[in-house]
Amino acid sequence: MTKNTEYSNLYLSEGIRLLYTNSLPGILITFIAATIMVFTFIDNQNLHAKITWWLAMTLLLGLRVIDSQMWLRGQPEHKKEKIWLLRFSSGCLLTAVLWSVYAVVFYPQFSIEELSTTNVILAAMAGGATSILSGSLLLSSLYNIIILMPISLLLIMQPEHYKHNLGILGFCFTAIMMVSSVRSAKYIKEGILLRYRNKTLVANMEETIRIRTQEVYEISNKDSLTGLYNRSAFLSAVEAVEQDFRNHKITNFSIFFIDLDGFKNINDTLGHNIGDKVLMTLSARLKRCNDAEVLMCRWGGDEFILLVKDKTYESTSLLAEQITHCFSHPIKLDEHAVTLNATIGISVCPEHDTSVTRLIQLADIAMYSQKGKYPERFAFYNLDLERNLHRNITLNEALKGALERNEFRLVYQPIVNAAGQVVSFEALLRWRYQGEEISPGEFIPLMEQSGRIVQVGSWVLEEACKVLAKIHKRNADTCMCVNISMIQFYDKGFVNNVNRVIEHYAIPGHLLHLEVTESIFQSEQMMINQKVSLLQQRGVKFSVDDFGTGYSSLSVIQNMNIDYIKIDRSFIQHIEQKGLSIVQAMMNISKSLNFKVIAEGVETEKQRLLLAQCNVPYMQGYYFSRPLERQKALDYLNNVQQDSVEEESCSETE
């Protein structure tokens, strides 16, 4: 609706309201005036005519009273309709016509008194109309004209001088009344306009206040970057859901803890602007794959939390799958396209807990435990996860002072050649904590995560080389294999440290073998290459550990000039099935790429035999010996060496 039509509608409806609300006093005055006029100047001559006129006027006024009552009792929305103006105007103008009829028809019988009284009454009626009918300018003007003009015209045409003058006076009066009608109609119009302006002003103010309130709400409740709930708003919104659950309005709800994988990298390498864009894109995707019922929150940084109501286990899993799928599409930015995956941890109320704060904690634990475990990108919380996490936290704390408390020691597992002679030992780290032997499979990843492996690894190297120096005095060719974690390898001081240890214990470099896993070759190849060749120049040998379990390509191994490949235990375990072909293939490649093969985890005579048939030159495993404490390893070396010397001399004597 345009402003003009809105305004004219308002003018119409206000006009109608004014006319009807003022109508009853006007009708009453008209009735009194009509009655006084008729019955004051009645005589036999005009008896019937005047009574008839009075009855007509009374009937008309009666109808107008009924009409007013109908309007008063009508429905508010119908009261504004134009038909009311027509009805009112008709009644009003008919009244004016009746007055004019009275003046014109009965004029010939008027006494001088009746004429003046009639004139006074008509003038009063016209005067009253200017204000009472000011709701409609047209109506009040027509009313004046109809009531005053006929009698004024009639009087002007009379020969008597005073009547002529009265007629002129009537004209003038009509003109004055018209002017005054225009004025009061204008006044009323302005009043209505003012009311309209006030009304729109109030409405505008209400709208402005509504917008401002919304803005304040958004600022304090929404995350400005993503438009999702912020942390505090989310926590107050979920209170209502907790309440609904307590009141049995919903049967369950779950919390999704979503964390982006590798977001920090994007922020660090491509900058915070790109990071922000990535977050915005991903939150838009999050909104798209959830309905409005799901409460979505940016918990902080690259973490999001969802609260999902009333879903089955299956539909919850499906939603988690959808979200990870949605997130995994490449994000197109100005010059870059980045792909980010997300890990989701899920906790369920009432299965895991009923408090949202606790459920968030549990979902976080589930997320954390699932991090990096490909291909499954989401996990439901369970008690084991929490126990693991607690144990990890405890062990991590304990690892802080383990070196100082002398809780670490090394054990040594022999590696033998085809003749069964010990050619080297692999130094393996052991940690005894509070009387319990903790598996390296458990504590080494923890030390890698905390970076403590650099310091402990350096201790391992030193300790292993100390033992190697001791062995070297009696067995000049026996080597020592030391496991090196990727984190150590990346450390700036690594090469210097190895050189320092070699020099300190006066060990020939070629007796030290460093075992690295394939994952080391995945990134920063230049740096790795440089470090490997620097140490190789000192004679140090390199072995690729757990070969076949990672992703390294043979070409990388060739470039690196690797000395040994240790075929992972899992292939040896299954050597009687498909493992054999892999071992054979490795033996073939080893010749052309110039590395030597070591088979790990040999446990049975059968395995040893098959490996020997494949001409695998070196083997290691429980079949030959378990990892041995230092003294036992030294004794073992002497005994086996002794045995083989005896065997050799026996065969010589044979």
Residue 26's binding partner among Ca ion, ligand C2E, none (Cβ under 5 to 8 angstroms by kind) is none
- Print the SS3 string covering 395-408: HHHHHCCCCCCCCE
Of 151, 319, 415, 444, the one binding ligand C2E (CB under 6 A) is 444
Closest contact distance (angstroms) between CB of 566 and Ca ion is 5
Of 436, 441, 476, 551, the one binding ligand C2E (CB under 6 A) is 441
Decide if residue 437 touches ligand C2E (CB under 6 A). no
| Number of residues counted as binding ligand C2E (CB under 6 A) | 23
Decide if residue 625 touches ligand C2E (CB under 6 A). no
Whether residue 76 is preceded by a cis peptide bond, meaning omega within 30 degrees of 0, is no
Decide if residue 416 touches ligand C2E (CB under 6 A). no
Q: By C-beta, is 34 or 428 nearer to ligand C2E? A: 428
Closest contact distance (angstroms) between CB of 343 and Ca ion is 28
Q: By C-beta, is 444 or 507 nearer to ligand C2E? A: 444
H or E stretch covering 253: strand 253-261
447 near 398, Cβ under 8 Å? no
Decide if residue 407 touches ligand C2E (CB under 6 A). no
Pull the structure tokens for residue 534. 């620097």
Residue 413's binding partner among ligand C2E, Ca ion, none (Cβ under 5 to 8 angstroms by kind) is ligand C2E
How does DSSP assign 105-174, residue by residue?
Answer: HHGGG--HHHHHHHHHHHHHHHHHHHHHTTT-HHHHHHHHHHHHHHHHHHHHTSSSHHHHHHHHHHHHHH
Of 282, 362, 367, 429, the one binding ligand C2E (CB under 6 A) is 429
Decide if residue 533 touches ligand C2E (CB under 6 A). no
Of 223, 364, 518, 545, the one binding ligand C2E (CB under 6 A) is 545
Decide if residue 440 touches ligand C2E (CB under 6 A). yes
450 near 399, Cβ under 8 Å? yes
Decide if residue 622 touches ligand C2E (CB under 6 A). yes
Decide if residue 579 touches ligand C2E (CB under 6 A). no
How does DSSP assign 472-540, residue by residue?
Answer: HHH-TT-EEEEE--HHHHHSTTHHHHHHHHHHHTT--GGGEEEEEEGGGGSS-HHHHHHHHHHHHHTT-
528 vs 492, 556, 557, 565, CA distance in Å? Answer: 11, 11, 12, 17
**What is the rounded CA–CA span in Å between residue 323 and residue 305?**
12
Whether residue 350 is preceded by a cis peptide bond, meaning omega within 30 degrees of 0, is yes
Decide if residue 413 touches ligand C2E (CB under 6 A). yes
Decide if residue 422 touches ligand C2E (CB under 6 A). no
Decide if residue 185 touches ligand C2E (CB under 6 A). no
User: Which phi and psi angles does 279 have, rounded to 5°?
Assistant: -65, -40
304 near 255, Cβ under 8 Å? no
Residue 441's binding partner among Ca ion, ligand C2E, none (Cβ under 5 to 8 angstroms by kind) is ligand C2E
Q: Which amino acid is at 421?
A: Q
Q: By C-beta, is 242 or 545 nearer to Ca ion? A: 545
Residue 575's binding partner among ligand C2E, Ca ion, none (Cβ under 5 to 8 angstroms by kind) is none
Of 460, 465, 471, 512, the one binding ligand C2E (CB under 6 A) is 460
* Closest of 411, 591, 419 to residue 483, by C-alpha: 411
Closest contact distance (angstroms) between CB of 601 and Ca ion is 8
Of 167, 345, 414, 601, the one binding ligand C2E (CB under 6 A) is 601
Residues at the contact surface with Ca ion, assessed by CB under 5 A: 483, 515, 545-546, 600
Residue 429's binding partner among ligand C2E, Ca ion, none (Cβ under 5 to 8 angstroms by kind) is ligand C2E
485 near 448, Cβ under 8 Å? yes
Closest contact distance (angstroms) between CB of 596 and Ca ion is 15
Residues in the chain: 654
Nearest residue to ligand C2E, scored by beta-carbon proximity: 621
Decide if residue 402 touches ligand C2E (CB under 6 A). no
Pull the structure tokens for residue 638. 């002497």
- Cβ count within 10 A of residue 160: 9
Binding site for ligand C2E (CB under 6 A): 413, 428-429, 439-441, 444, 457, 460, 483-485, 515, 545-546, 569, 601-603, 620-622, 627
